Amino acid sequence: MFSSVYVENMTKKWNLQDIQPANRARRSAKRIERKKTAAEPADESLSVDIHVDNSDAKEAPKQAPQSAGRPVAADVSDEQPEAAAPQMRRRLRRRPTDIESASDEGHFDTVEIVDGTSSRRSSMIIAGVVFIFVVLGGVVASALMGGAEVAVTPRFTEKSVAATFTGSITPQQDTITYELLTLEADGERQVEASGQEEVSEQAEGTILIYNEFSTSPVRLVKNTRFESPAGLIYKIKESAVVPGYTEGDNGIVPGVVTADVFAEAPGERYNVGPSRFTIPGFEGFPEYESVYGESTGDISGGFSGQKFIIDDAELETARQALHTELRDALLERLPGERPAGYVLYDDAVTFTFNSLPAVAYGDNLATIKEQGVLRVPLFQESQFAKFLAEKSVPGYEGLPVRLEDYQALSFSYTTPTTTVSDISAQAEIPFTLTGDIKIIWEFDENELKADLLGVEKTAISQILGKYPAIESAEAVVRPFWQTSFPREMREIEVFEVIE
């Protein structure tokens, strides 16, 4: 075992050349052990063995005074032979790194070294490429989805309506014209009959008499004859005064009056549907073509022959049941029969029922037949809205308008329902409308699109100047860099915005 002593002043100054083995063969005793991988040393301990050959040096004192410099530790043994001369070893250790401290095993086989600058540069390049692709994708998408959208705010006004108006089957001053929708259905039921009797009945109905001959009234006496296209003669029950015609925007507006007629003879052959009638007494005169009659409903009830005798109470009960069935059947058909572009009010619907001749059904039984007729006035939507605008909007200039919701109005006849059950017999019908409506001015969408084709976006305000029905408009043109509207109408979409 070696003992440690401090050497203060050595008789010879040490340098690197002096600290070497006596011969080359012992140079292998001086070594530096260092293990490392390609990235980080496996063992950062540095061991240096220093052997000193004292064969030529004088015997050093066993203990020398402590030098003012840093003490040097040396291991000396006097008991060893010269071949094993005392040696002085200095071990230098390097402090373990954080990587070694963090490892439970004390060593890492491989440590990856990352260049932070290069990593950031790669991330920026990738981000730039992605941004370019996004921008290019947006440009391509915008080009493929090119077009224009124009949001139009039309003029409109809100009004509260509560007034009585007059509808007419033909255009008249200060009236709203309507068309009559007529639906028919037949039904039958068996009842007990007590016998038969001979019956002779004349057909009856109502016609409208028109005057297109003069502005002066035309007077017709009782029993004035009217002839159907088939040569059948009908007579008016009372005298009539037909008003003269008036001048309207669309030409002559004929005067009209309603009259009840009956067939000149009994029989079923006089039962006819809507027809036009001439006045035989005017034949050869100018009035023949200008004063005429029309029926909008049936002329019916004509019969001649044997008729079953049925108890009145039983007959009435059977008829009431048939009327209910026919009413329900006709109302079910009504929604599908209404033509497009016309407004119809459920409370304007009227019903009439006609009794048809009964037929035998076995012994002491008869089959009674009833015909149900539904009639309802139809108002053309644009004319109806314009009529209400004229009556409710001060200074209305006659431009096309529509109602946002036609069913927002409630309809009712001003006379009892029983007197208007057959509205085909009337030239005019008074009615009342109540409710809150929104009147919207209309514009030609296709015309607006045509005016916008290829023009600059900034010119839209000038184009809107020719559309008094438009309050304002906003346009969006795609792609965003496009400064003018498309040159194809199909690429322009126009829609309304009503607050």
Tell me: pLDDT of 393 over 90. Answer: yes
Average per-residue pLDDT for the chain: 78
Q: Would you say residue 400 has pLDDT above 60?
A: yes
Provide the pLDDT for residue 130.
72
Say whether pLDDT at 184 is over 70. Answer: yes
Instruction: State yes or no: pLDDT of 7 exceeds 70.
Output: no
Q: What is the pLDDT of residue 224?
A: 96
- For the ranges 43-57, 144-158, 432-446, 477-491, the lowest mean pLDDT is seen at 43-57
pLDDT of residue 376 exceeding 90, the answer is yes
Q: Which of 32-41, 314-323, 480-489 bottoms out in mean pLDDT, i.e. has the lowest?
A: 32-41
In the structure encoding, which two tokens stand for residue 426, read together? Answer: 């009337």
pLDDT at 104 over 90: no
Residue 160 has pLDDT above 60, yes or no: yes
CA distance 440 to 197: 64
Instruction: Report which of residues 96 and 408 the model is more confident about.
Output: 408
In this prediction, residue 134 carries a pLDDT of 66
pLDDT above 90 for 242: yes
pLDDT above 60 for 107: no
pLDDT at 357: 80
- Interval 152-159 mean pLDDT: 95
Position 127 scores a pLDDT of 73
**Looking at residues 253-276, what average pLDDT do you find?**
92
Q: Span 68-86, mean pLDDT?
A: 41
Q: What percent of the chain has pLDDT over 70?
A: 72
Reported as a single tens digit per residue, the pLDDT across 439-476 is 999 999 999 999 999 999 889 989 999 999 999 999 99
Confidence band (pLDDT; 50, 70, 90) for 110?
low
pLDDT of residue 58: 41
Which comes out higher in pLDDT, residue 275 or 145? 275
* Residue of higher predicted confidence among 473 and 76: 473
Q: Mean per-residue pLDDT for 48-63?
A: 43
pLDDT above 50 (res 6): no
Minimum mean pLDDT range among 200-214, 274-288, 359-373, 456-470: 359-373
Residue 91 has pLDDT above 60, yes or no: no
Sign of CA dihedral 425, 431, 437, 439: positive
